[in-house]
Structure 1
């Protein structure tokens, strides 16, 4: 009888001994059978469902939304496995059975690779486990049950396939297995482009038979996916799985080694990320709430002084205060949550004061967090990575909520706020925070080192992160240049921006952004972002993005070497950059404004110089060993933990980002409200930067009234909110997606205007952006767009003139916009949606109307001052003015035009509403008192005296 050694190295003498002695092997199975079990059961699930589905419901499962048998003759994966009983049950049962071998396969891979590729094996383990869980999600939540969640789980599964496939291939040591993995992975990823192509042919172009081809490619992906994991048969053949009778042996354990990694755990890391998320939410809210006041005062209001509250860490120069906050780090964090809880305060002034109070303590809390972080190996990297991940999470929250942070104090339940959840998370994270290194000795500082340089570096970094990366659409709108699309758009390319930020955090853990060469690369990226549009400009922006997120942890660690009051100086630098960032566009309303008029380049240079001083300060850190006692093995162990935690957070963030991007991108094509009438309802509205009279975000209320008015084309003015003072928001995104509009942002945030944008139910064939002559006052933006309206080209111009005080500016602008309107092809319909700052029938009005050959929609309306609708070569049938409610300070003006009548009327004979077809009328909802403060006004009805629309013959 052959003998085998048990797990302690002893050899049993008989079979009986082997079964009864502690440590005896009871069962031994070669590891390759895990791979075989996974392959067989997984293929049984898919093929079983396919065979049963074809046998029982063939014509039903090949039917799709556009075609059926015989045009489509092969079922998609989702139709075969999820639509009908019993094939769905067969699939679900076998997938449940597959979970056992699947979890075993993932764990065995980790055990097989952890010795020679520890960090990569951790990524494989995390992505493999999450991939298994998301597989369960799309298996048991079918597209019939909940289409959105099914798609979210499915897209998450596909995204997680990337790190799983790449990681497994890199870790494969067997040459034959690696060859097969490369072949199968190439086939898998090579099938995706044609899969997308045929899906578009089916979904968008409605090509018969395209879905069958798509289905074959989808099944090929399934087969390649299973085949990739089937290669584990080769890898696991070197493993032996044993069941050991270990009774009595488990008590004999070696004492655990206590490493310096104590406290570096993912729970603590998550708490730091949560606190950083609160910090960024409050910091970005403060300038936004301040902006409400100069907006109404049309100049300096005095409340701008609250911006200096972020310099509050300067009080930490006082030793007793520094020691107190170090002793109770929970206190400044709890007080910082006031900035989130401020939404409970109804009045704008006390709400702003609460946010200023919270922002000050948030900055004190961050200074406290990084205090003396250099005294412990890699603590600055650990805390700094959490700090940037907090920013990324706020950007993700804004990406998911159409550029509004749901825990900002301009949000509440009615407009989509998650304020209560934000307060709960903030309080919990504050209470659970770990104490700073209060017992550690202060790190020795070399005489050549400079705290001022370190402060400038952190100040510049925080400003750059806030102004460019606190929203995923900011750098995209910097390079946006109109239709046809020649570069990225906010959805889905906001996903790419977040992934670039995640890449930066990961590179930061490898210290790859330190030094002058990466800094020079960031300067090149900044220059490209400023100088170019489209993909080239975006590439420059992504270069800067990766650098900022990668170098920030090192800068924060460096600042932690000095007195924590130095954070006050850093935030003063940020404050000065904030003011410069505002002055370049608000030059007409602030003292000394002309010095920075339209000088974004100056601000970017100041930003990069500040960061450069941070790099210089880093380079001056003494080469002597300043850290507490540590050794290479301890540092490696710490770094391994940090990278594992960062990678796990990145996987979660990336998966959520892709899911959000997919859900937002998958929208139906816009449809006009009354195609049966060939009707186009066009409007103009000055939206006051999306803050209503009570300082709440107004996009939801704007959306509601636009939907109820059935507007096909509308221009928004005062709509550029892509600055720190406006929250880096995009007012049109939510309305465009939820109501179905094509969307043109207009001159970008680097063009120094208050903004204009265009939303259209009709495809935008072409658009150009203009800045009209403005030698003295604020810049006047315009969009000239050509729309495909029921198969006919129609030009629409959206325009915002300058201030009343700047007479010459407005005269030159009237000539400039007249030239744009005259440039439209002869005979083509043209509509001007505008803010002209003139009275009817006099002054510049005559230039806009007579010189350009345009017709006023209603010359008898004497009560207008700013908003006008002009037209030519198109039939006008109706005109209305709708009160703003409390959303803004300007009304909505609407005109109705029809495309089926080639004899446009310029007479102003009023037509009785009863003679107007129902589809061409304005909604009755707005008669009398209207709804939510919106009603027809000014144009009086003789009988009732109330406001009403007008209809023309």
Structure 2
């Protein structure tokens, strides 16, 4: 500590020192804590701290931060002593920074100080609660620390005093810190998911780099704190706004605004922030209602097995055509609040229990929502800033909807198919929606006639572009897993997976939206459109990462082009641009359904299996909108008006802030959903597993509620280890762009193969397994006339033995030739595996027992046996097996979950060659000899829970009780 040269001026000062010593003390002690633990740990326990759950030395040769500071004595104790010493300077640093930056009437310094305190507390949390003590809380506190580092870092840059050197260092260190997060996550996934040897060592280097950058960022305060003398005396006047830098203050302020994307410029006001938050939430409500419409419509053709008539409600979106009638346009524009409030009927629909009236209610909400938003855009088109704010909010609402669906496992918590029993937050969502819509509509319309005076360009071309754009963002971006499942190719994992890599889609959506707002000139040209077309082709034609890279290119473009395209359309006749635009959107939606539902719709055979045609049509329609944008001088006028710095565009900083908050919320949900991959079967001690087959009817129950929770409960209570799910592909607009397998797999602790993706034109087949899936291939069986028959062939590691599992859905009853060809294909496929390898078929065969194609599936070619050939009551679901010891079989009623029961069977995997020999040598009479339940061990028995009347409508039926068979 240095004695102050000002001590003689104030006799009351006993001891004083310069404020920069607080920064240096914090820096030195913090580095000492980590580096001393690293040195001591490597010296005493090197081989132990470099070892992880998969590998040790020499594959892994550098320890992670967590292993270094938390696993061994004495390094752990020495680290904690230094960290305890660090806490004093750390809190003092936060306090001095607040004193340095606080100005009368400014809220931002207080907010940054609070984030600094919380960041310090969470730092103590993850350092004192190590991964060895409590892995979950260690990770949670670590994530919170990184989350609060974002406002602390950007806030410190924005509030930085006029010191050019300090600003430069903060920018470079902050950029390095956040840039390090990308490879950090990548190599963690390589280690955790792909189990790559050496990946954890590379991850450890990036983790240590984060520590070094984090401490270095706070060390820069030494360049600012030399203005303080402690006891606190401002010796240079920097805290009063004096400029101590040779660089002009205006230049530094501009540099700080650039570094923080203008988020913190021009102060912070609660009122505008609440306005923007309300706008974005109202946009979220619109997308929640729109994406639910197809889902509630789908319920009816699903149960009618064909056109029901209720499909006409898809046309509810064309309501903006009413704006073409002048008196109605004036009425709607001048009473926007009424129409926006009426659009909330879609959220209230969950209270309507009759499916027909629930559909009517949702359709009414969509009708009013499309009409109200079109009127709002048209009315606000005379004010570029206000129009841009509305458009951004609408698109940010789409982003929020996708994030909410990710957090709720692809269901939206305020959909009308959700309620409290299956995870819905309908009541909360409705209350927030009412508050949001009242604030959203509190400003008077700017143009009471609702039509701008701009005449350049073609309204029809704009409408075609709007239709293609709306369809593209709805069909591809309303759920983060949609395009990932387009490129899914099975195991081993060679591409993105939904619960690990979905953030890349969110990041692309966010980046695209920001480009559309801040740099529209980058995308309103034919070059950008051409790049987007290449991305669309990559997504359509390729699998794995290469296809997904195309998806990210297309995502970025769609979100970027949406801002200028909607803004341009709002300046024209809204009845054409949005009314006719939604008509084109509806035609694409129907086209999108026809390619897979071709067997049930008029004209279906002409478009069967042509997702490529849909993508081509979508990009051509978007191209029409681009042509309208770039034609003549329209694009240049738009770009100039958008980029004009004098325009009052203060809303942008609030939108950027909300986008950042939404991204943080997604990352938190992403962390909470990160798979553990430590799944355990129910009866490992007996080498027994329970297998099941269930046709889940697209996860909508008989009363139009989403049925994942009810399915989860039955599968868990039956202790099913391996299950095939059929009619499971929900990744279309008409089905809500959902994925039931994500929730079931993560909640039940199972590996999952989604099966052929949504661009393969099937109704879906999926496999969930408690056992690792070593390899899987997807098959589309011969279907010259009827619907495509999907199949999965997977090889599982079951108690150290390879077991092949086939999941299959055959064609429909009306196409006998299809089913014959499919039976021959599958029999050959099942017979192609090694002769002594155990195998299992979980299937939907559409045949009677012992008749017709049954004798192809159960044949010498396939080598498969029926789980119980005496079960005469089957028509669709069958379980076949070979080289396994079957011990039990049961049929469990569905209640109102679906239209098909759940069939389950129990098997034991042979443990050695002797067991295999006895099983192979067993005669048909031996295999099929039934025994009483008392003759099998307790662990082999089915749960007694479902005897008699069972629970929740589930009980053993047909046989009234499970059947048990001969065993060795």
TM-score by structure 2 length? 0.82
Q: Distance between the aligned counterparts of 1:916 and 1:514, measured in 2?
A: 72
| 1:746 equivalent in structure 2 | 755
Which of residues 121, 146, 155 in structure 2 aligns to 1:158? 146
Q: Does 1:334 align with 2:372?
A: no
Distance 1:731 1:582 in 2: 19
Q: Which residue in the other structure is 2:25 paired with?
A: 40
Q: Distance in 2 between matches of 1:382 and 1:498?
A: 20
Within 2, Cα distance between the matches of 1:411 and 1:632? Answer: 41
Q: Which residue of 1 aligns with 2:249?
A: none
Distance 1:667-1:110 versus aligned 2 partners, 3 A rule: farther
Asked if structure 2 preserves the Cα contact closer than 8 Å seen for 1:715 and 1:756, the reply is yes
2:837 to 825, 828, 839: 828
* Superposition deviation, residue 96 in structure 1: 7.3
Q: 1:153 to 1:462 in 2, by over 3 A?
A: farther
**Cross-structure match for 1:576:** 587
User: In 1, distance between residues paired with 2:560 and 2:70?
Assistant: 41
* Correspondence 1:512-661 to 2 at 5 A: 512-566=522-576, 567-620=578-631, 623=634, 635-636=645-646, 638-639=648-649, 641-661=650-670
Evaluate the alpha carbon distance shift between residue 356 and residue 679 of structure 1 in structure 2; reply closer, same or farther with a 3 A threshold: same
In 2, the alpha carbon distance for the partners of 1:203 and 1:446 equals 54
Distance in 2 between the 1:380 and 1:683 partners? 54
Aligned match of 2:288: 281
Equivalent pair of 2:33/2:78 in contact (CA under 8 Å): no
Cα-to-partner distance string for 1:784-828 (whole Å, 9 max, x where unaligned): 001111111111000000110111111111111112111112211
Partner Cα distance (1:218, 1:698) in 2: 41
Report the Cα offset of residue 186 of structure 1. 5.7
Task: Give per-residue Cα distances to partners, 1:91-134, cap 9 Å, x unaligned.
Answer: 689647634533654897999xxxxxxxxxx9999999757644
> Residue in 1 aligned with 2:694?
685
SS in 1 for 2:648: helix
Aligned-pair CA distance for 1:949: 3.2
Q: Quick one: distance in 1 between partners of 2:185 and 2:277?
A: 38
SS for the counterpart of 1:893 is strand
The corresponding residue for 1:368 is 375
2:255 matched to which residue of 1?
Answer: none
C-alpha deviation, 1:517, in angstroms: 1.5
Say which is worse superposed, 186-195 or 745-754, in terms of deviation.
Answer: 186-195
Q: Against the structure 1 CA distance between its residues 175 and 85, is the aligned structure 2 distance closer, same or farther, given a 3 Å change threshold?
A: closer
Work out the CA distance in 1 between the residues paired with 2:508 and 2:407: 17
- Is it true that 1:875 corresponds to 2:875 in the alignment? no
> Aligned residue for 1:474?
482
Question: 2:401 matched to which residue of 1?
Answer: 394
Q: Which residue of 2 aligns with 1:13?
A: none
| Structure 2 CA distance for aligned equivalents of residues 602 and 213 of structure 1 | 44
Change (3 A) 1:204 1:631: closer
1:948 corresponds to which residue?
962
Alignment of 1:33-432 (within 5 A): 36-41=21-26, 44=29, 76-77=68-69, 95=87, 98-99=90-91, 101-102=93-94, 105=97, 133-137=118-122, 139=124, 143=129, 151-158=139-146, 221-234=210-223, 240-241=236-237, 265-432=272-439
* 1:886-931 CA-partner distances (Å, limit 9, x unpaired): 1100011111111133222443110111111111111111111111
The question of 1:913 aligning with 2:918 is answered no
Aligned residue for 2:825? 816
3-state DSSP of counterpart to 1:938: coil
The 1:108/1:384 distance shift into structure 2, 3 A limit, reads farther
Secondary structure, in 3 states, of the residue corresponding to 1:435? coil
For 1:529 and 1:633, the matched residues in 2 are separated by 32
Residues 65 and 483 of structure 1: CA distance in aligned 2, closer, same or farther (over 3 Å): closer
CA separation in 1, counterparts of 2:883 and 2:693? 19
Structure 1 runs not aligned, ≥5 long:
1-17, 20-25, 112-121, 247-258, 940-945
Q: How does 1:689-708 map to 2 (within 5 A)?
A: 689-708=698-717
Give the secondary-structure state (helix, strand or coil) at the position aligned to 1:585.
Answer: coil
- CA–CA distance in structure 2, aligned partners of residues 184 and 363 of structure 1: 42
Give the match for residue 953 of structure 2: 933
Counting matched residue pairs gives 891
Pairs within 5 Å for 1:745-824: 745-824=754-833
Judge conservation of contact 2:695–2:725 (CA < 8 Å) in 1. yes
CA distance in 2, matches of 1:555, 1:196: 35
Aligned partners of 1:369, 1:74: CA distance in 2, in Å?
A: 53
* Displacement of 1:387: 1.1
Q: Tell me if the contact between 1:460 and 1:574 (Cα under 8 Å) persists in the aligned partners.
A: yes
> How much is the aligned-residue C-alpha RMSD, in angstroms?
4.5
Q: Does 1:737 align with 2:732?
A: no
Contact 1:881 / 1:891 at 8 angstroms: preserved in 2?
yes
What do residues 378-402 of structure 1 show as CA deviations (whole Å, max 9, x unaligned)?
A: 3333222111110011100111111
From the superposition, tell whether residues 333 and 40 of structure 1 become closer, same or farther in structure 2 (CA, over 3 Å). farther
Aligned equivalents of 2:906, 2:438: Cα separation in 1? 58
Question: Is the Cα contact below 8 Å between 1:385 and 1:508 reproduced in 2?
Answer: no
Alpha-carbon distance in structure 1 between the residues aligned to 2:513 and 2:633 = 25
Conserved in 2, the CA contact under 8 Å of 1:380 and 1:553? no
Q: Is the 8 A contact 1:126 1:648 kept in 2?
A: no
* Distance in 2 (alpha carbons) for counterparts of 1:627 and 1:508: 12
SS of 1:758 mapped into structure 2: strand
CA distance in 2 between counterparts of 1:214 and 1:800 reads: 43
Alignment of 1:444-455 (within 5 A): 449-455=457-463
C-alpha displacement of 1:324: 2.5
Structure showing greater relative contact order (alpha-carbon pairs closer than 8 Å, 6 or more residues apart): 1
Contact preservation (8 Å) 2:489, 2:544:
yes
| 1:460 aligns to 2:460 (yes or no) | no
Residue 562 (structure 1) shift: 1.9
Unaligned stretches of 5+ residues in structure 2: 1-8, 55-60, 229-235, 243-265
The 2-side partners of 1:778 and 1:745 are apart by 19
| Deviation string, structure 1 residues 439-492 (Cα, Å, up to 9, x no partner) | 478776565521111112121111111100100000000000001111000011
Quote the Cα distance in structure 2 between the aligned partners of 1:243 and 1:74.
39
Distance 2:760 2:149 in 1: 41
Maintained 8 Å contact 1:936/1:949? no
Corresponding residue of 1:495: 503
Quote how far apart the aligned CAs of 1:266 are: 2.6
Q: Which residue of the partner structure matches residue 513 of structure 2?
A: 505
Asked whether the equivalents of residues 115 and 151 of structure 2 are also in contact (C-alpha less than 8 Å), the reply is no
Cα offset for 1:563?
A: 2.9
Mean Cα deviation higher: 748-757 or 822-831: 822-831
Cα distance, 1:369 vs structure 2: 2.1
Cα distance, 1:569 vs structure 2: 1.3
Q: Distance in 2 between matches of 1:642 and 1:884?
A: 52
CA–CA separation in structure 1 for the residues paired with 2:618 and 2:735: 20
SS in 1 for 2:850: coil
Contact 1:288 1:726 (C-alpha < 8 Å) held by counterparts: yes
What is the alpha-carbon distance in structure 2 between the residues aligned to residue 591 and residue 633 of structure 1?
A: 49
* Alpha-carbon offset, residue 650 of structure 1: 2.1
2:899 corresponding residue in structure 1 = 889
The structural deviation recorded for 1:620 is: 3.5
Listed one character per residue, the Cα deviations across residues 672-721 of structure 1 (whole Å, up to 9, x for unaligned) are 11111111211110000000111111111111111111111100000000
Q: Deviations over 1:22-45 (max 9, x none)?
A: xxxx99xx9x96654245247657
Change (3 A) 1:889 1:196: closer
Q: Structure 2 vs 1, CA of residues 705 and 541 (structure 1 numbering), >3 Å: closer, same or farther?
A: same
Separation in 1, partners of 2:623, 2:635: 23
